[in-house]
Structure 1
């Protein structure tokens, strides 16, 4: 049953990631991958929130592993950072890696703080 919950969560998270990424990136005329940054930070905040609530195993499978796992994307972060390096956009590449990691950690912490405050 856990695997089914993960699949259902991923069926929502993956298309949402694609749509959100495209929508955000369309707002910017730059090589910096703002769409990926947005979904990674949002997913980190949601996962931090969920983690602080300590929901049951089924809820974490559905929303944490399935939804947040499919919404966020470390592989795309890696690919886009390498692509920026290949395009000689070194500053943007470093910024992409550092900002994604720091903002993701900050968002997870903020999500946890919000959940604990409720």
Structure 2
């Protein structure tokens, strides 16, 4: 139960932070590109890179990495997983993870849009 509460607390803070970055992106960059998403993903990647080697305590990892960064951006986790695969010599898996995640994400968003639009149309 403690682990769940730590993840929930970190997740709540990460979601609020993500919302703040999204608002800042709109304010500073305008509605053209999704600047808030870019900002959250870049900052999340920087933070996970800083945190992973420094934080050893399980509670801090649960609240900070799984909770906060998980809610702030899953892109940071995907990126960290890919880099760690590369660093441990599993380069084929790293490339497959990088390319496959993007491809599957695009395909599933497209599929979701098709299904959602059909449901919305009645």
Q: TM-score scaled to structure 1, two decimals?
A: 0.58
How many matched pairs? Answer: 79
| Structure 2: unaligned runs, 5 residues or longer | 85-122
Which residues in structure 2 correspond to 1:69-88 (within 5 Å)? 69-74=70-75
Larger-gyration structure (1/2)? 2
Higher relative contact order (CA 8 A, sep 6+): 1
Moved more, 22-31 or 51-60: 22-31
Q: Is the 8 A contact 2:25 2:34 kept in 1?
A: no
CA-atom RMSD, angstroms?
2.4
- Give the 4+ runs in structure 1 shifted more than 4 A: none
1:55-89 superposed Cα distances (whole Å, 9 cap, x missing partner): 21111000000001111155xxxxxxxxxxxxxxx
Q: Compared with structure 1, are the counterparts of its residues 29 and 61 closer, same or farther at alpha carbon in structure 2 (3 Å cutoff)?
A: same
| Structure 1: unaligned runs, 5 residues or longer | 75-99, 110-118
CA distance in 1 between partners of 2:4 and 2:31 (Å): 39
In the other structure, the counterpart of 2:12 is 11
